[in-house]
């Protein structure tokens, strides 16, 4: 008599998601937090470096407002290219490899910027830096969402950004000190922005995303990564409950084109709109503050000092995000933050005295950076692992592409309609962000990533 084949259990292996989502925050996650924050510290500083030294370059190279806008636009065009390329690279070859190489790229490009000798070379090097900056950001926010448990994704996005955002006032302070050293001082600012390359010394501390391994069918490697993380947790005394697999809420898409399928198209269009308007709003304010202050009669050194003080609102905002990100539904918090930025930003634009400018500027900086970690946590939650970075990259890149025209639009408004018109425009962008995410954004709090 022939033997009857015995069917094997269909759920012999727990999914990576079910294993990660019940892990405690121990040494592994705290080290990961600091390593990611280290790179973001210099990325965020580098992002603002040209805006910080633009008033000095205007004096040395006799650049007009239009030239400043063109160079800033070149950086954002590079960010568009980088977001698409970084997203594709990460989904194809892995989060860890993409994170390291994109960091090396923006750091090396920042060094090249320090050696620029005229407007065209500065435009090229800032384009190249922009490619690396946005590539790294898209990869990193996805990496955070995939490595941390669902209940802590938003919280640790906030903690990482809180630490990293000290890079903004630090860069403003470095710019102020360096500019006073002489005509070469502005070059040192870009050398400072390149220090994020130090992450290569800690490569062994980074694990590849096990969710990415699993999405590629490399389940042994995925399980091995989670085994190592679990072993570290148990060694620290953690008592891990058995994993409880959860079915994904959406059918996984296998190719990048899946972001435009009927399942994900609405989300993709919503995110593109949000990133376009929030990018115009953020950089309409942050990148132009020193130049706009000098145009109102403040000396270059004082405008940089005031900017430095305002930028200290940034880590305060990220701290707020860390404390609230996983408490309530993220889409509603994003909408409230956007409307608050619009209101305070207009008040800032109407202010003329130094003290109100400092206080309101601090609040705008704080609110913007409370908003950013919430959006960074929200974005990767929209897509499944197989297209997560590509989808995030398209939205992020669309914002950067739109802002390639943003600086020139600010220059046009400022030249033809005055200082206050810039802040009315900025407020309008934030109102649109709030409306888009409130009416069209899905709820994601605590959702298991597919």
1 CB-near residues (< 8 Å, 6+ apart): none
CA distance 388 to 146: 10
Does the structure show a pLDDT above 90 at 431?
Answer: yes
Cβ(38)–Cβ(199) under 8 Å?
yes
- Number of other residues whose CB lies within 10 A of the CB of residue 439: 10
At 153 the pLDDT is 82
Q: How many domains does the chain have?
A: 1
Is 4 among the domain residues?
Answer: no
CA distance 381 to 392: 9
At 5 the pLDDT is 37
Is 250 among the domain residues?
Answer: no
Does the structure show a pLDDT above 90 at 432?
Answer: yes
Q: What is the DSSP string of 220-257?
A: HHHHHHHHHHHHHHHHTT--PPPP-----SSPPP-SGG
Is 247 among the domain residues?
Answer: no
Does the structure show a pLDDT above 60 at 3?
Answer: no
Is 195 among the domain residues?
Answer: yes
Q: What is the DSSP string of 96-144?
A: HHHHHHHHHHHHHHHHHHHT--SHHHHHHHHHHHHHHHHHHHHHHHHHH
Is 329 among the domain residues?
Answer: yes
pLDDT in tens, 391-416: 888 888 887 787 767 767 777 877 77
Q: Which of 118-127, 288-297, 403-412 has the lowest mean pLDDT?
A: 288-297
Q: What radius of gyration do the chain's Cα atoms show?
A: 22
Cβ(162)–Cβ(63) under 8 Å?
no
Position 61 confidence tier, pLDDT thresholds 50, 70, 90: confident
Does the structure show a pLDDT above 90 at 34?
Answer: yes
Does the structure show a pLDDT above 80 at 66?
Answer: no
CA distance 414 to 158: 34
CA distance 318 to 366: 7
Is 24 among the domain residues?
Answer: yes
Is 53 among the domain residues?
Answer: yes
CA distance 258 to 384: 10
CA distance 257 to 246: 25
Is 248 among the domain residues?
Answer: no
**Range(s) of the domain holding residue 340:** 16-237+256-440
CA distance 380 to 376: 7
Give the CATH number for residue 56: 1.20.1250.20
Does the structure show a pLDDT above 50 at 1?
Answer: no
pLDDT mean across residues, the chain: 80
| 184-211: average pLDDT | 87
Per-residue CA distances from 272 to 279, 293, 302 (Å): 11, 31, 37
359 CB-near residues (< 8 Å, 6+ apart): none
């Amino acid at each position: 008599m022939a033997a009857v084949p015995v069917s094997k259990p269909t759920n012999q292996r727990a999914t990576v998601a079910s294993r990660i989502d019940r892990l405690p925050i121990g040494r592994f996650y705290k080290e990961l937090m600091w390593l990611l924050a280290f790179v973001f510290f210099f990325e965020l500083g580098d992002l603002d470096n040209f805006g910080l030294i633009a008033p000095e370059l205007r004096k040395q190279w006799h650049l007009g407002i239009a030239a400043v806008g063109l160079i800033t636009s070149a950086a954002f065009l590079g960010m568009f290219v980088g977001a698409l390329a970084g997203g594709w690279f990460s989904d194809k070859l892995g989060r860890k490899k993409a994170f390291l190489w994109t960091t090396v790229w923006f750091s090396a490009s920042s060094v090249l910027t320090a050696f620029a000798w005229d407007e065209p070379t500065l435009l090229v090097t800032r384009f190249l830096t922009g490619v690396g900056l946005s590539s790294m950001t898209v990869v990193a926010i996805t990496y955070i969402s995939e490595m941390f448990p669902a209940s802590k994704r938003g919280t640790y996005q906030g903690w990482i950004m809180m630490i990293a955002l000290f890079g903004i006032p630090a860069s403003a302070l470095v710019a102020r000190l360096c500019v006073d050293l002489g005509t070469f001082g502005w070059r040192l600012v870009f050398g400072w922005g390149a220090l994020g390359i130090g992450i290569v010394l800690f490569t062994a501390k980074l694990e590849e995303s096990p969710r990415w391994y699993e999405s590629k069918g490399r389940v042994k490697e995925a399980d091995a990564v989670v085994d190592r993380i679990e072993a570290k947790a148990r060694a620290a005394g953690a008592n891990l409950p058995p994993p409880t697999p959860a079915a994904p809420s959406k059918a996984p898409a296998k190719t990048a084109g899946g972001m435009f399928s009927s399942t994900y198209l609405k989300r993709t269009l919503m995110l593109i709109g949000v990133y376009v308007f929030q990018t115009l709003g953020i950089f309409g304010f942050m990148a132009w503050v020193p130049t706009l202050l000098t145009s109102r009669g403040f000396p270059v050194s004082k405008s940089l000092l005031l900017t430095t003080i305002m930028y200290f609102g940034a880590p305060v905002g990220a701290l707020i995000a860390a404390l609230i990100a996983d408490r309530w539904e993220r889409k509603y918090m994003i909408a409230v933050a956007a409307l608050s930025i619009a209101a305070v930003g207009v008040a800032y634009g109407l202010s003329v005295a130094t003290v109100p400018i400092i206080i309101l500027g601090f609040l705008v900086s704080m609110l913007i950076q409370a908003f950013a970690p919430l959006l960074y946590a929200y974005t990767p939650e929209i897509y499944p692992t197989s297209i997560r970075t590509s989808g995030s990259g398209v939205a992020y890149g669309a914002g950067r592409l739109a802002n390639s025209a943003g600086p020139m639009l600010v220059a046009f408004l400022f030249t033809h309609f005055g200082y206050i018109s810039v802040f009315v425009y900025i407020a309008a962008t934030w109102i649109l962000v709030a409306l888009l995410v409130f009416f069209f954004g899905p709820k994601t709090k605590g959702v298991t990533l597919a």
